[in-house]
Amino acid sequence: INIALYKYLNIFVIVYLDNILVYLSRILKEYVEHIKKVLTKLKKYKKKSKFYTIRTKFLEFIISRETIKIDSKKIEAI
């Protein structure tokens, strides 16, 4: 996946193993264009994906527009 998305890495995409996060732009139209670019590159990969979410889990963090929090399930035992 890194190879497929190398042009976009750390510009508007983060990739870690099989996780892909597209940065939310201030302009919705720009964000949609970023999503289209990623989807075009990933056509050959049939992985489970989430789009236009308000919140998402990424690398054991819960990310929303307002906050980034550690997943509470991961810290309950502590």
Domain of 7, CATH number, reads 3.30.70.270
pLDDT, tens only, 26-42: 889 999 999 999 988 88
pTM of the model: 0.56
Domain count, the chain: 1
Position 59 scores a pLDDT of: 82
Residue 27, domain extent: 2-75
Instruction: Note whether 1 and 45 are within 8 A (CB).
Output: yes
- Whether 1 shows a pLDDT value over 80: the answer reads no
Nearest to 57 by CA among 17, 28, 20: 20
